[in-house]
Amino acid sequence: MLLPRSWWSTSTLIAIAFSVAESKIDREAIVRQFNLKLNQSHAYSPVQVGNGNFAFGVDVTGLQTFVPHNTLSSWAWHNSSLPTTPNQTAITDYTGVDWWTHDRLVNYAQPNPAEKDISQWMIANPHRINLGRIGLWFGGQDVSEETLVGKIQELDLWTGVIYSTFLFNGVQVQVQTVASPETDTVAIKLQSELLKTGILGVFFDFPYASGKDKFDAPFVGIWNATANHTTELKSANSRASIRHTLDATSYFADVAWDTEASISRFSNDTHKYILVPKKTSDTFALTVTYSPESSKDTETFQKVKEKATGWWSDYWSSGAFASLPINTNTSAKELQRRIVLSQYLLAVNGAGKDPAQESGLVNNGWYGKFHMEMVFWHLAHWTLWDKWSIYDRSIAVYERFHQANCDRARKQSYNGARIGKMSDPSGRSAPGGINSLLIWQQPHPMFFAEMEYRKFPTETTLRKWDVILTAVADFMVSYAYWNVSTHVYDLGPPMYPVSENTNPNQTVNPTFELAYWRFGLNVAEQWKLRQEKPIPADWHFVKENLAPFPIENDVYVLYDGVKDMWTTPALAEDHPGLLGIYGWLPPDPRLNLTTFNLTVEKVYQSWNFPNSYGWDFPLLAITAARLGDAERAVHWLLDASNQFDEVGMPVGGTRVPTPYFPASAGLLLAVGMMAGGWDGMDGPNFPKGWQVVLEGFQKAM
Ligand SMILES: *[C@@H]1O[C@H](CO)[C@@H](O)[C@H](O)[C@H]1NC(C)=O
Ligand SMILES: *[C@@H]1O[C@H](CO)[C@@H](O)[C@H](O)[C@H]1NC(C)=O
Ligand SMILES: *[C@@H]1O[C@H](CO)[C@@H](O)[C@H](O)[C@H]1NC(C)=O
Ligand SMILES: *[C@@H]1O[C@H](CO)[C@@H](O)[C@H](O)[C@H]1NC(C)=O
Ligand SMILES: *[C@@H]1O[C@H](CO)[C@@H](O)[C@H](O)[C@H]1NC(C)=O
Ligand SMILES: *[C@@H]1O[C@H](CO)[C@@H](O)[C@H](O)[C@H]1NC(C)=O
Ligand SMILES: *[C@@H]1O[C@H](CO)[C@@H](O)[C@H](O)[C@H]1NC(C)=O
Ligand SMILES: *[C@@H]1O[C@H](CO)[C@@H](O)[C@H](O)[C@H]1NC(C)=O
Ligand SMILES: *[C@@H]1O[C@H](CO)[C@@H](O)[C@H](O)[C@H]1NC(C)=O
Ligand SMILES: *[C@@H]1O[C@H](CO)[C@@H](O)[C@H](O)[C@H]1NC(C)=O
Ligand SMILES: *[C@@H]1O[C@H](CO)[C@@H](O)[C@H](O)[C@H]1NC(C)=O
């Protein structure tokens, strides 16, 4: 029996944990020092307001006037029509692919060449949709960004409000933009004498879903397929409701405004609507709420702004905070900038009911689906920064997907629960050549459970995770294969290691996965001991008899038997997962530090770092920090290939679409460990000479 949802929340305990004692740090001053101040639109990186489940990206006007940045939410998804190919017309027609796995055939959710169309449909569906565009309307004149002068935009991080201003034909226009912390609502206030002339208003527009592109970026949706979807306007008493229907997906944009105005459809062959105030006032405020159901009670701009201001100042005031020597050291200042902007962007893009997609709510990476192996990199930092109420929002994914995970393991004749990979909110894992053969997502629940127990060492925590950990450990134990000639348990083949760059049929006993298996099974054992429950004998036996780490020429290697890994370009690049056995993970009991140190040197000498991206740099930083080299840790976090742009978006790396938020979340994880320390090291662990002030960090394992 799984526990009801309420058990999955740590937040009852948080009331106490969150009442932060008097802060030594002037958090507000530090946060505000990094307010965004811009004077032009970014073509790729929007400035955003949002709440973790909803984000609204804007250009220099504070709306989506010139650049159609996206409006994405965690609930808005769409299916394209199913293929009409004979025998490939339903999900149930998809049969996966059988591969030999230790003398038996195991069915993997791979794209099946004989079922190409339904395989691709299951990869691309459902996909996330762009809820719509809101922009300024200039009386029907064709205005470009260059026409506007004196453009100044400021995002006030402390309150989550964007202030944008410019002159149009010599008249000042001011725009405030803010998102509700609770609903998918954007609140907008315009102030300008132009409002009295009838040539300033707001337009709304709605795109069709794409579903064609794995990376639907930077702009999500199709704007010219107007015949494929419908919109319908109902309006009365300073309110309008626009219903948007895209095949089986339907939702409402409910608009409410505060002074007399009229709304109408721009033309019948578009989905564009124009809202024009009636020349009565020099201010005009409106709220737009996107929702599957039409909402009866919308809130005013003022109310949304108050709530947002309250939410954001609580966010910054609670949990941990780091103050670095920004006035005396430029590296410290850049790191502080990245920390603050990452904290903002992750609360907007990486704090929803589901684990985050790598590109958050900025655009659609991987059709908008999220990845279960990436849950570690998206969520782990919240535990060190003591932000449990945000962590709580999506950690229950392990409970929600538990049945699907058990079904997956059973179908492959394994015990327990096998966690999927590229997921939509229903828990269906998309077919994929790599997807079905990754295994490093399995021990993540053990990591999270243990972090929670360190903070909340209670019966409730133990009971909450017991069913999940038991089933995941059962899978891990039945997945490990007893090798009769070597008398150890092998992991794989077939499998992919974290770096996804090997031949899966030859990949056996990768260094990182062996350590993570041992770590996970150890936590599972501790969980039983703490509850005075028996530890299944096979758990312990497998844990104690996992294959040794693969070593060649005195250094750890990617997997057992890998050929020429240090001189093969495709192998000495991508995620340097093997360094995770000392850093990301606490020291493995079988780790030989002499060998590990030589491995670090070998990686430093041989790796193709310019091809690294995202969480590779935090991973390297954590290892360096654990080895006592804080200087080097900071260097990794600021590496030339690990860029954060003016808006704070993690845009480093040429191999993935941007933004790539694991770089942001990983940076906070690394800083969290440097600040709070780990077992055996109290922290802080920053470069010598840095005056740091730290508050509220949790210790890592
Ligand atoms: C816009 O901002 C940039 C960067 O802060 C600055 O260099 C530039 O002078 C500004 N331009 C205007 C027209 O204000
Ligand atoms: C998409 O189709 C799947 C499979 O039929 C269904 O479970 C899911 O609810 C659909 N999602 C949407 C957004 O229509
Ligand atoms: C569809 O399935 C039927 C029944 O299994 C089979 O006879 C037929 O050849 C299949 N058609 C195609 C196009 O694969
Ligand atoms: C792995 O082996 C299976 C047979 O078990 C084969 O179908 C598949 O093509 C092989 N994959 C690779 C990448 O060689
Ligand atoms: C929409 O635009 C795309 C890209 O420019 C073009 O290929 C397509 O034909 C257009 N579709 C319609 C219906 O106009
Ligand atoms: C729109 O519908 C037409 C007719 O069904 C179809 O051919 C076309 O592919 C659709 N466009 C998109 C972008 O799905
Ligand atoms: C839009 O369609 C409605 C109803 O068919 C019609 O009355 C109206 O004149 C049309 N408007 C435009 C701008 O074509
Ligand atoms: C057992 O391990 C050895 C050495 O790693 C390997 O060559 C062999 O293939 C393994 N046996 C099986 C049945 O996997
Ligand atoms: C660690 O590895 C080094 C180098 O291979 C070796 O000399 C040493 O004996 C090993 N230490 C242990 C405790 O196994
Ligand atoms: C490994 O490297 C660290 C950092 O340089 C050093 O402190 C430690 O003594 C080294 N350990 C061994 C066994 O070489
Ligand atoms: C800032 O700190 C880093 C890390 O300790 C150091 O390498 C650098 O020299 C410092 N820069 C200045 C200007 O002090």
Structure tokens, 554: 């005195």
The single-letter code of the amino acid at 110 is Q
Phi, psi of 110 (to 5 degrees): -100, 155
User: Do residues 651 and 662 lie in contact, with contact meaning Cβ atoms separated by under 8 Å?
Assistant: no
Residue 382 inside a domain? The answer is no
User: What is the helix, strand, coil percentage profile of the chain, to 5?
Assistant: 35, 20, 45
Ligand 10 pocket, residue 434 CB under 6 Å: no
3-state secondary structure of 686: coil
pLDDT digits (tens, 9 = 90+) for 130-154: 999 999 999 999 999 999 999 999 9
Per-residue model confidence (pLDDT) at position 608 = 94
Terminal C-alpha separation, the chain: 30
Q: Give nearest CA residue, ligand 8 atom 14.
A: 483
Residue nearest ligand 11's atom 5 by CA: 687
Q: How many CB atoms lie within 10 A of CB 419?
A: 30
For residue 324, give the ligand nearest its CA: 11
DSSP state of 187: E
- The pLDDT value recorded for residue 324 is 98
Q: Give distance in angstroms: CA of 257 to centre of ligand 4.
A: 60
Full-model pTM? 0.96
Indicate the pLDDT class of residue 23, thresholds 50, 70 and 90. confident
One-letter amino acid of 130 = N
Question: What is the band of 296 on the pLDDT scale with cuts at 50, 70, 90?
Answer: confident
Mean pLDDT of 318-333: 98
Question: Which pLDDT score, from 0 to 100, does residue 15 have?
Answer: 35
Mutational test site, ligand 3, from 87, 88, 112, 116, max ligand atoms within 8 Å of CB:
87
Widest CA span in the chain: 87
What spacing in Å lies between the alpha carbon of 249 and ligand 7's midpoint? 25
Tell me, what CATH number does 141's domain have? 2.70.98.50
pLDDT averaged over every residue in the chain? 95
686-698: average pLDDT: 97
* Nearest ligand to residue 589 Cα: 9
Ligand 7 atom showing the smallest separation from residue 268 Cα: 1
Percentage of the residues of the chain whose pLDDT score is greater than 70: 97
The answer to whether the CB of 86 is under 6 A from ligand 3 is yes
Do β-strands 273-277 and 171-179 pair in parallel, antiparallel, or remain unpaired? Answer: unpaired
Residue 676 lies in a domain: no
Mutate to test the pocket of ligand 11, among 326, 327, 331 (most ligand atoms within 8 A of CB): 331
Token output for 570: 């495709």
Q: Does residue 7 have a pLDDT over 60?
A: no
Structure token digits, residue 187: 């609140």
- Please state, in angstroms and rounded to a whole number, the distance separating the CA atoms of residues 518 and 539: 10
Torsion over CA: 53, 59, 60, 64 (sign): negative
In degrees and rounded to multiples of 5, residue 481 shows phi and psi of: -115, 125
CA separation for the pair 344, 503 (Å, rounded): 39
555 CA distance to ligand 9 centroid (A)? Answer: 11
pLDDT digits (tens, 9 = 90+) for 358-399: 999 999 999 999 999 999 999 999 999 999 999 999 999 999
Ligand nearest to the CA of 274: 7
Domain that holds residue 256: 37-78+126-316
CA-CA distance, 324 to 33, in Å (whole number)? Answer: 13
Task: State the residue for tokens 């200042």.
Answer: 333
Amino acid 609: pLDDT: 94
Nearest to 187 by CA among 68, 86, 294, 58: 58
Taking the C-alpha atoms of residue 102 and residue 100, their distance in angstroms, rounded to an integer, is 6
Share of the chain above pLDDT 90, in %: 94
Q: Which two tokens stand for residue 24?
A: 């030594």
Cβ-Cβ contacts under 8 Å for 134 (sequence gap 6 or more): 56, 63, 64, 71, 186, 188, 202, 203, 204, 288
- 627 in contact with ligand 10, CB cutoff 6 A: yes
What is the reported pLDDT for 16?
37
Above 80 in pLDDT, residue 280? Answer: yes
Per-residue pLDDT band at 6 (split at 50, 70, 90): low
- Among all bound ligands, the one having the nearest atom to the CA of 91 is 2
Mean pLDDT of 72-94: 97
Task: Answer whether 567 contacts ligand 9 (Cβ < 6 A).
Answer: no
Cα-to-centroid distance, 348 and ligand 1 (Å): 27
Residue 595 has pLDDT above 80, yes or no: yes
265, containing H or E segment: strand 261-265
Q: pLDDT (tens digit, 9 = 90+) per residue, 111-134?
A: 999 999 999 999 999 999 999 999
Q: pLDDT confidence of 12, banded at 50, 70, 90?
A: very low
Q: Which atom of ligand 5 is nearest to the CA of 222?
A: 1
Query: From ligand 4's centre to the CA of 509, what distance in Å?
Result: 18
Residue 233 sits at φ, ψ, to 5 deg, of: -105, 135
- 629 in ligand 11 pocket by Cβ < 6 Å? no
pLDDT tens-digit series, residues 160-197: 999 999 999 999 999 999 999 999 999 999 999 999 99
Give the count of domains, the chain: 1
CA of 333 to the centre of ligand 11 (A): 10
* Across 593-605, average pLDDT: 98
What CA–CA distances, in Å, run from 288 to 20, 131, 132, 578?
34, 11, 11, 48
Tell me whether strands 230-236 and 249-257 are parallel, antiparallel or unpaired: unpaired
Q: Any residues with CB less than 8 A from the CB of 330 and at least 6 apart, and which?
A: none
Question: Which DSSP helix (H) or strand (E) runs through 470?
Answer: helix 459-479
- Rounded Cα distance, 227 and 238, in Å: 29
Instruction: Give a yes or no: residue 14 inside a domain.
Output: no
Buried b / exposed e along 605-641 (16+ C-beta atoms within 10 A):
ebbebebbbbbbbbbbbbbbbbbebbebbbbbbbbee
330 lines ligand 11 (CB under 6 A): yes
What band does 437 get if pLDDT is binned at 50, 70 and 90?
very high
Conformation bin of residue 492: beta by default, left when phi > 0, alpha when psi is -120 to 50: left
Among 582, 601, 627, which residue has the most ligand 10 atoms within 8 Å of its CB, making it the best to mutate? 627
Nearest CA to ligand 7 atom 4: 268
pLDDT digits (tens, 9 = 90+) for 484-536: 999 999 999 999 999 999 999 999 999 999 999 999 999 999 999 999 999 99
Q: Nearest to residue 252, comparing CAs of 228, 272, 232?
A: 232
What's the whole-number mean pLDDT along residues 573-602? Answer: 97
**Helix axes of 301-317 and 330-349: crossing angle, nearest 10 degrees:** 130
Residue located nearest, by CA, to atom 12 of ligand 4: 505
Is 87 near ligand 3, meaning CB less than 6 Å away?
yes
* Distance from the alpha carbon of residue 64 to the mean position of ligand 6, in angstroms: 26
Which protein residue has the closest C-alpha to ligand 4 atom 10? 505
- pLDDT of 19 strictly over 70: no
Structure tokens at 473: 């450990």
CB atoms within 10 A of CB 589: 10
CB neighbourhood size of 220 (10 A): 24
**Beta-carbon-side half-sphere exposure of residue 582 (alpha carbons within 13 Å):** 19
pLDDT at 13 over 60: no
CA–CA distance, 390 with 358 (Å, rounded to integer): 17
Distance of CA 432 from the midpoint of ligand 2 (Å): 19
Rounded alpha-carbon distances, angstroms, from residue 650 to 339, 427, 486, 654: 11, 27, 45, 12
**CA 291–ligand 6 middle distance (angstroms):** 25
Phi, psi of 26 (to 5 degrees): -80, 85
